């Protein structure tokens, strides 16, 4: 019913090694999103970590509304994290398919 236990352990080990390699790769891949008409852009890696935030000073009023700038920064980060999450989910989906696993079997799917 469960097949060869030794073979299952080997496959599980291979899958774990592959997942570790994919996580490392995703940590190196980045996506960028902007908000406020390009006022702020955020760069996020595949681990959903914020790598960089850029503010286009030509599009802001330094004496202006800081609350609005905070909102735009938050929106740019959220958009970049959503893009990174989609990238990660697609990569995990492909990895599961390559391993012959049914959809939803790996975290982040």
Q: Render pLDDT for 14-61 as a digit per residue (tens, 0 to 9).
A: 888 888 888 899 999 999 999 999 999 999 999 999 999 999 989 888
d(CA 86, CA 1): 35
What's the rounded mean pLDDT across residues 55-79? 90
Q: Which CATH superfamily is domain 5-96 in?
A: Nucleoid-associated protein YbaB-like domain (3.30.1310.10)
What's the rounded mean pLDDT across residues 54-71? 87
CB 31 within 8 Å of CB 80: yes
Q: Strand, coil or helix: what is 52?
A: strand
Q: What is the pTM of this model?
A: 0.77
Instruction: Output the pLDDT for position 6.
Output: 86
Order the strands of the 50-55 sheet from edge to edge. 30-35, 40-45, 50-55
Across 7-11, 17-21, 67-71, 79-83, the highest mean pLDDT is recorded for 79-83
């Amino acid at each position: 019913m469960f097949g060869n236990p030794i073979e299952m352990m080997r496959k599980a080990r291979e899958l774990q090694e592959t997942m570790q390699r994919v996580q490392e790769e995703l940590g190196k891949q980045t996506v960028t999103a902007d908000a406020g008409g390009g006022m702020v852009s955020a760069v996020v890696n595949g681990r959903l970590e914020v790598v960089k935030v850029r503010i286009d000073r030509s599009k802001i009023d330094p004496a202006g509304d800081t609350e609005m700038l905070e909102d735009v920064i938050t929106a740019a980060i959220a958009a970049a994290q959503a893009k990174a999450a989609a990238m990660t989910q697609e990569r995990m989906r492909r990895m599961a398919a390559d391993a012959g696993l049914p959809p939803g079997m790996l975290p982040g799917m």
